[in-house]
């Protein structure tokens, strides 16, 4: 390795930690690091990523040096992920030195949040209200879910300031929201408590984690996929326990709410929910506002594709059509805009992930409806498999052009000054 190898290694390690912290999957993270290392002339670079660690090895066999990074799963930050990939591309192409790339990553890490707390809290409410509409809720269910979503946003701000609360955040939030849903059912009139609660909790349900885990298992990233799948299952259990406890205590204090069937809102409320949900995800996932039109478009394509697929293939397999359409749209976005496909892929598939189905399965099992719980769990598995199959097949049909530049030869010589893209 050249004299600049230590700086290059440091940059690659810092890049890996930053990508992991902002929600990159194991497969994509390893692909980025391998391609960047090859372009920088780091021989024998190998990486092994799990939800809690990254192992990196550099050098020829027999002379390898291994680095271990202890990391924690972070929330998805699409804007920062796109910026990090751009930095890796500029360093790989020689437009930045590794030292300049490390400084750019540090600047991204120190940057203030893209959206304020008030707007983020409002986005929680909009997502919850939209989810209640998707789940078949009526006016009362949508209104209560929106209130619960705003309450969840406020509670998340409180949890950020109190780390001990953050350790049991999902279970405690599920308890508070389900308890509040029972009280609001008595205050605002009869409504479906399950639909309202599920809508309010939709941001917490680890449907995206489940989908990522299934994708990693399908692509032979077994360690990361298994660990991520276990984490999603534990989160499901914590949420289900919190909901069960909140319902029981709410019923004891306010009385059992009347059991009613929700009446789905049709027409313009459905269109509004279809447009507002992706816009709210832009804020929650901290995507850049310049990508808003494409994110909304991918969400609409996914939902419409899923519904058309469900009409012909069935509910579970219809998810395959929706995921396939979203993946094709995201890869087209990458080719047209020269930005990572994940920017529009993640918000698009969030409207398709089977998290709500898994939650219904656990609640049925906790209520000792074993047959219904097992049937719902099997439906969740089929939905997740169909979604992953749609993503993987779309990658074969229209592969993403990895924004990494040519990796056939290492960078040599002097690095030019970085290009000003302002």
pLDDT digits (tens, 9 = 90+) for 246-281: 989 998 998 887 777 777 777 788 889 889 999 999
Taking residues 13-35, report their average pLDDT: 92
The pLDDT, as a whole number, for residue 419 is 37
Give Dmax over CA atoms of the chain in angstroms.
76
Q: Do 97 and 7 contact (CB within 8 A), yes or no? A: yes
The pLDDT, as a whole number, for residue 368 is 57
H-helix segments, 162-206: 163-166, 169-188, 193-201
Closest CA to 243 of 151, 170, 191, 155: 170
**How does residue 136 score in pLDDT terms, banded at 50, 70 and 90?**
confident
Looking at the chain, the whole-number percentage of residues with pLDDT higher than 70 is: 88
Query: What tens digit of pLDDT does each residue of 225-235 get?
Result: 999 989 988 88
221 and 248: one domain?
yes
pLDDT higher than threshold 60 for residue 170: yes
295 and 337: one domain?
yes
133 and 227: one domain?
yes
189 and 217: one domain?
yes
Residue with tokens 């069937």: 261
pLDDT higher than threshold 50 for residue 350: yes
- pTM (2 decimals)? 0.85
224 and 302: one domain?
no
Question: 277 in a domain, yes or no?
Answer: no
Eight-state DSSP code of residue 69: E
128 and 42: one domain?
no
The pLDDT, as a whole number, for residue 190 is 84
Boundaries of domain holding 231: 116-264
Helix (H, G, I), strand (E, B) or coil at 168: coil
The pLDDT, as a whole number, for residue 363 is 61
Question: 407 in a domain, yes or no?
Answer: no
Q: Which of 201-215, 248-262, 359-373 has the lowest mean pLDDT?
A: 359-373
Domain boundary among 207, 233, 264: 264
Task: Give bridge partners of residue 67 from the DSSP assignment.
Answer: 56
Looking at the chain, the whole-number percentage of residues with pLDDT higher than 90 is: 41
CA atoms within 13 A on the CB side of 351: 37
Q: φ and ψ at 218, to 5 degrees? A: -65, -30
Task: Give bridge partners of residue 164 from the DSSP assignment.
Answer: none
The pLDDT, as a whole number, for residue 365 is 54
Question: 121 in a domain, yes or no?
Answer: yes
Residue with tokens 């032979």: 220
Which has more pLDDT, 418 or 374? 374
pLDDT higher than threshold 90 for residue 172: yes
pLDDT higher than threshold 70 for residue 306: yes
Taking residues 298-305, report their average pLDDT: 87
Domain count for the chain, please give it.
Answer: 3
253 and 121: one domain?
yes
Question: 273 in a domain, yes or no?
Answer: no
Question: 413 in a domain, yes or no?
Answer: no
């Amino acid at each position: 390795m050249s004299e600049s190898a230590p700086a290059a290694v440091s940059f690659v390690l810092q890049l890996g930690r930053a990508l992991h912290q902002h929600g990159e999957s194991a497969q994509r993270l390893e692909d980025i690091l391998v391609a960047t290392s090859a372009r920088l002339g780091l021989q024998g670079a190998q990486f092994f990523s799990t939800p809690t660690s990254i192992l990196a090895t550099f050098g020829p066999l027999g002379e390898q040096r291994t680095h271990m990074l202890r990391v924690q799963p972070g929330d998805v930050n699409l804007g920062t992920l796109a910026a990090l990939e751009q930095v890796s591309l500029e360093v790989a192409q020689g437009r930045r030195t590794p030292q300049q790339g490390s400084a750019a990553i540090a600047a991204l890490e120190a940057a203030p949040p893209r959206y304020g707390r008030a707007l983020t809290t409002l986005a929680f409410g909009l997502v919850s209200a939209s989810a209640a509409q998707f789940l078949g809720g009526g006016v009362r269910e949508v209104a209560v879910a929106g209130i619960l979503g705003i309450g969840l946003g406020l509670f998340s701000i409180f949890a950020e300031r109190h780390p001990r609360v953050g350790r049991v955040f999902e279970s405690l939030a599920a308890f508070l929201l389900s308890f509040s849903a029972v009280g609001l059912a008595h205050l605002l009139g009869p409504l479906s408590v399950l639909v309202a609660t599920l809508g309010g909790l939709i941001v917490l349900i680890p449907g995206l984690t489940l989908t990522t885990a299934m994708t990693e298992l399908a692509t032979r990233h077994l360690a990361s996929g298994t660990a991520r799948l276990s984490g999603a299952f534990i989160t499901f259990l914590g949420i289900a326990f919190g909901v069960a406890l909140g319902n029981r205590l709410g019923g004891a204090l306010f009385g059992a709410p009347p059991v009613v069937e929700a009446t789905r809102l049709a027409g313009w409320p459905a269109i509004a929910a279809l447009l507002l949900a992706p816009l709210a995800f832009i804020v929650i996932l901290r995507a850049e506002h310049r990508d808003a039109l494409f994110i909304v478009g991918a969400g609409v394509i996914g939902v419409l594709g899923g519904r058309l697929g469900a009409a012909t293939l069935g509910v579970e397999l219809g998810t395959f059509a929706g995921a396939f359409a979203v993946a094709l749209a995201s890869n087209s976005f990458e080719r047209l805009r020269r930005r990572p496909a994940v920017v529009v892929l993640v918000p698009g598939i969030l409207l398709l992930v089977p998290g709500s189905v898994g939650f219904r399965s656990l609640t049925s099992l906790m209520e000792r409806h074993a047959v219904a719980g097992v049937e719902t769990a099997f439906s969740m598995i089929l939905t997740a498999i169909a979604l992953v199959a749609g993503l993987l097949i779309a990658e074969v049909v229209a592969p993403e052009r990895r924004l990494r530049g040519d990796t056939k030869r290492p960078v040599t010589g002097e690095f030019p000054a970085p290009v000003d893209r302002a």
